[in-house]
Chain A
Amino acid sequence: MSFRGSIRTVRISAALLCVFGAGVLIREFVRFPVVFPGAGALAVALELPLVLIGFALLRRLRPTRAPALKWSAAALVWGGAAATGCALLANQGLTGLWAKGEGVTFASDWSAALTAPLNEEVLKLCGVVMIALAAPLVINGPLDGLICGAITGLGFQAVENVTYGLNSIVMSGGTSPDRAVLDSALLRVGSTGLGSHWTMTAVAGAGVGYLIRHTRRRRLMREGSGTGYRGPQPAGRSPAVLGRDLLAAAGCLATAVGMHFLFDAPGDLAIAIKVAVNFSIAAVLYLMLSAAFLRRAREHLAAEAAAGLVGADEAGSVLSRRRRRRQLRGIQEPAERDRLLARQRDILTELDAEAA
């Protein structure tokens, strides 16, 4: 199969899985908007600010430029459709098994902590892998994976919040549907929103990013060794660095599962502490990866400038969104502006791969 054929197969499969997940959700919740139309609309409306603001902020987190809008939206849809719908079925199955095997009291306390981290983290993570397969330039390393994962988790979180809001109508006996939905949203957006799914999948997504960087660099090393070249390897392609990437990938995936377990586990630990722990882990990882990305980007640009491949002005301005815009605004001639824009994009695309 050709490269384009394989890409098309992945994209069609991902779309079908999203349709399947959405179908599961619709089948499960379709009666709510019929019986409680106002509360149903409210449950969705209350999540819109979270989705819109979260989506914009998470995309803005990426240094130099935001990830492609189309693939960011795809990550959001995967989280909200494929992952959520499949998780609904998987969780029902595994929760039932815990109750049958260990008893209803044990399951009442522990089934969420022993079910969701396994099912939900894997299903959300599949979305990050699908995007890496469907659009190979989108995820080049851990930072791209972190942002793609965070957006996938955000989609999952928003749709899960809607389903919790709808279920809270039932759990409150339908006596005050709007109040039940509002209380649920306040708790899940206002109280736990900062440390919920988006943080867990951000960390897991970084793990996928490490894995992608590891496999690409290993492939490049193999291709290099095939030419008979025995000299020093480029930075980041030594066996030690490759091994570190693999270890980091495993560490990120285990940490994400651990974060989810902590979040759902029963016990006396206050929910505010759980939220703070998850948020801090995601924030520290982001700051580390972002700083490392920018450092590698500056080093690469300096090397390119020294070789005369990039102008000193370009090297100084291309990493900053504001300076790039200022450069473009300073050019009156449309054709010249398009040329500069294309040049900036080329440099940034190269940096995405080299600094990943």
Chain B
Amino acid sequence: MVADQARQPPGGASPQARLRWLLIVVGVMALLTAGWPLLNAAVADKQKLAAHASLQVGPGGTDSASVSVGQGWFVRPAETDPSQAYVLRRGAVTISIGYVSLAGRYQAARLWDGLRRVFRVTNPGVSLGQPAAVTSGQGRKGLSATAASASSAGAVSAFVGPSGTYAIQIVTLAPRSARLAAEADSSQLIRSLRFPAARHARTARTARRAPAGAQSPTAS
């Protein structure tokens, strides 16, 4: 054990010097803790996306998916990390496209219960309806359900990747007055969803079936 730690050591700081150091410490902490967030809030969190821009979400390669957006969309950079999620906004509609790494091989139906619980953590106050089957433009089966809270409405959709070890989750939310716009945007995004691995697999199958000399549909 140590003797009274509040004793002044030889050469120890004077009370004035101690308070000066305290102010420096508190000032530095306030600068970092409040300064960066304030500065971040002062810079606009929107960057315009080119019409029909293709966005790849996920770590990359076959372990990812891409979507393409229509006109007038903005990406919210502060909430976006291409390896994990994109957050997009157009008008009153906000869409997040998230990559989910699954611990094992899953089917969409088994994925849903987990996503519903995660949704309670990430979007408290928003409840999900009964999931229904939905098909991406690429023909991949997924599940989709309505999302609603006191002030907002939208949809949540989930598609398991071809390997069964990852999924893409699309969450669309807007104020209740913009519910139709949110549904239309969600449908458009689902139509544009592409899984590279699925495309490669289909391409390989097509190539095997194609007669010698025929051009691959993806070669041009």
Residue among A89, A129, A136, A349 facing the most chain B CB atoms (10 A cut-off) = A136
Q: Are A133 and B18 in contact (CB under 8 A)?
A: yes
Q: Are A31 and B120 in contact (CB under 8 A)?
A: yes
Q: Are B37 and A89 in contact (CB under 8 A)?
A: yes
Set A91, A138, A180: member contacting B2, Cβ < 8 A: A138
Q: Are B120 and A97 in contact (CB under 8 A)?
A: no
Chain A residues in 8 Å Cβ range of B81: 99, 104, 107-108
B6, CB-defined interface residue at 8 Å: yes
Q: Are B80 and A68 in contact (CB under 8 A)?
A: no
A86-B29, A216-B11 known; A172+B78 contact, CB < 8 A: no
Binary interface profile of B, 71-96, with partner A (CB < 8 Å = 1, else 0)? 00001011111111000000000000
A86-B29, A174-B117 known; A216+B9 contact, CB < 8 A: yes
B180, CB-defined interface residue at 8 Å: no
Chain A residues in 8 Å Cβ range of B45: 96, 100
Q: Are B115 and A173 in contact (CB under 8 A)?
A: yes
A42 to B101, CA, bound (A): 20
Number of interface residues of B (CB under 8 A): 66
A174 to B7, CA, bound (A): 52
Binary interface profile of A, 1-22, with partner B (CB < 8 Å = 1, else 0)? 1111111011001000100000
A175 to B105, CA, bound (A): 10
A89 to B32, CA, bound (A): 8
Smallest CB–CB gap between B79 and chain A, Å? 8
A136 to B143, CA, bound (A): 62
Closest to B85 in A: A171
Chain B residues in 8 Å Cβ range of A311: none
- How big is chain A's contact interface, by range? 35 or more
Chain B residues in 8 Å Cβ range of A4: 6
Count A-B pairs with CB separation below 8 Å: 208
Smallest CB–CB gap between A292 and chain B, Å? 19
A133 to B12, CA, bound (A): 9
Closest to A353 in B: B9
A5 to B37, CA, bound (A): 33
A32 to B122, CA, bound (A): 9
A93 to B40, CA, bound (A): 5
A170, CB-defined interface residue at 8 Å: yes
Among B19-27, B134-142, B144-152, B196-204, the stretch that binds chain A is B19-27
Smallest CB–CB gap between B58 and chain A, Å? 11
Closest to B12 in A: A136
Contacts from B to A (Cβ < 8 Å): 1-13, 15-16, 18-19, 21-22, 25-26, 28-29, 32-40, 43-45, 47, 75, 77-84, 100-104, 106, 110-111, 113-118, 120-122, 124, 158, 167, 169
Contacts from A to B (Cβ < 8 Å): 1-7, 9-10, 13, 17, 31-32, 35-36, 65, 67-71, 82, 86, 89-97, 99-101, 103-105, 107-108, 118-119, 122-123, 126, 129-130, 133, 135-138, 140, 169-177, 179-180, 183, 215-220, 223, 345-346, 349, 353
